[in-house]
Amino acid sequence: MKKGFIAGFLTALLCCAILLGVVSCGKENPEESRLTKISSTPTVDVSQNGTPTPTATPAANINDVDYDTKIKKIAELLDEYYYQPIDFNEVVDGVYHGMVSAIGDPYTVYFNEKELSSFQESTSGSFAGIGSSVRMNDNGYPQLTKIFKGSPAEKAGLLPDDILVEVDGEDIYGIALDIVVTKIRGPIGSKVMLTIYREGEPDYLHIEVTRDQVSIPTVEYQMLEGNIGYIIVTEFDDVTAKQFDDAVDMLTKQNMKALIVDLRNNPGGTLRTVTSMLSRILPKGELLVYMEDKYKQKEEYFSSSTATVNVPIAVLMNGNSASASEVFAGCLQDYGKAILVGTQSFGKGIVQTLVPLGDGSAIKVTISSYFTPNGRNIHKTGLTPDVPVELDESLRKKSTIPIEEDNQLKAAIDAVKAKITD
């Protein structure tokens, strides 16, 4: 039986029960956790000293509803009348997924044990998949935002802005993005068939991709002409902070006079990573970001390093720069430390935490909103660039854009050059 059948059948009945489960599990499991992950969704790790969880008591009437009796009755009726045998393990799994999805928040997701294992792989920066970043399109289908160089996705001919319609013949409309990612990943050497909508094509494309170990270099850097350092950050993973520190150190040793940090198509990552990277730039003690939950409880993060970067900085961003990318860019914009160049960012200003349920499964649940140092919450609005520049139309379908053709990068170079003082 398909999960979607039971999910749709029971979501309205079960949606409010999740609140009690999250609070109790959160108190018993002060585990380190992460927000949505942008190779899948925009994400951020919310805990450095334990998982922040709500402390107020849930509404009393949650316990007054007799869920067990109604669920048992529905199961008995299905077992008696449904015309084919039923795998009730799959039915129950569908109930859990449906209960959480009924909240209506695309970033609050239930993971069964298999899905959780696949999701957690993304924090390591190395996994078996196809080598692309993806976000949820406004039409309810996932959209590819970046194709990594040399990846299975590039070899198969996938392009940025391709929209995923089916994975192995399954329509994925409305399915949580993190779950879609787990469906795309699989054993090394196995194949996944993707049905793609590509603008300008007369019909859907069916593209088979052979999965492989994907090691994403989350930080790449080089020195551009005029001693302008250029660092590309593709995701804020566990490995990224050290890679970023090393890149800044190497560029500084080469007499860097200005710095460009490229966060275009960067979907986010862990909060501890982005705050560590901001600490490398801003003086010790500066407020970097703060979060506020529905009980108006705040959690603040401050720069903890004595190292700073004292050269002009520009941050490149676009509509796929999300979550941790926006924490980074918004913080530097608030302090006047960086010029934002490009287009409006994605607009994800909410934070999730991963709450283990004790049986190998977990819930990733939105627990708070985040704010830049000046108190801005950019959820559903995004950051506005100081220097607005659209990428040239001819470059939008390229998986890799040569530096000499990149008009947005050129605008960032011009912006920092104007700030350089010898």
The three-class DSSP label of residue 79 is helix
410 catalytic residue (yes or no): no
Burial class (CB in 10 A: 0-12, 13-18, 19+), 153: buried
* Active-site pick, 276, 323, 333, 368: 323
Catalytic residue of the set 348, 364, 368, 408: 348
Q: Give the contacts of 393 (CB within 8 A, at least 6 positions apart).
A: none
Q: Is 337 annotated in the active site? A: no
Report DSSP letters for 117-178, one per residue. Answer: HHHHHGGGTEEEE--EEEEE-TTSSEEEEEE-TTSHHHHHT--TT-EEEEETTEE-TT--HH
The span from the CA of 351 to the CA of 353, in Å, is 7
The catalytically annotated residue of 47, 352, 368, 408 is 352
- Site of tokens 């969704």: 41
Rounded distance between C-alpha atoms, residue 315 and residue 232, angstroms: 10
Q: Helix H segments across 15-59?
A: 18-28
Give me 235's structure tokens: 């995701």
At 11, which helix (H) or strand (E)?
helix 3-14
Cα–Cα distance measured from residue 309 to residue 275, given in angstroms and rounded to the nearest whole number = 15
Q: What angle in degrees, to the nearest 10, is found between the helix axes of 67-81 and 3-14?
A: 150
Angstrom distance (rounded) from CA 18 to CA 191: 36
Q: Which H/E stretch holds residue 302? A: strand 298-302
Give CA–CA dist 157/37, Å, rounded: 24
Extract the runs of DSSP E, i.e. beta strands, from 235-385.
258-262, 287-293, 298-302, 313-317, 338-342, 350-356, 362-371
DSSP code of 60?
G
- Backbone φ and ψ for 221, nearest 5 degrees, come out as -150, 160
Q: Note if 114 is an active site residue.
A: no
For the record, the structure tokens of 412 come out as 């960032």
**Spatial distance between the Cα atoms of 143 and 108, rounded to a whole number of angstroms:** 19
Point out the residues that are catalytic: 323, 348, 352
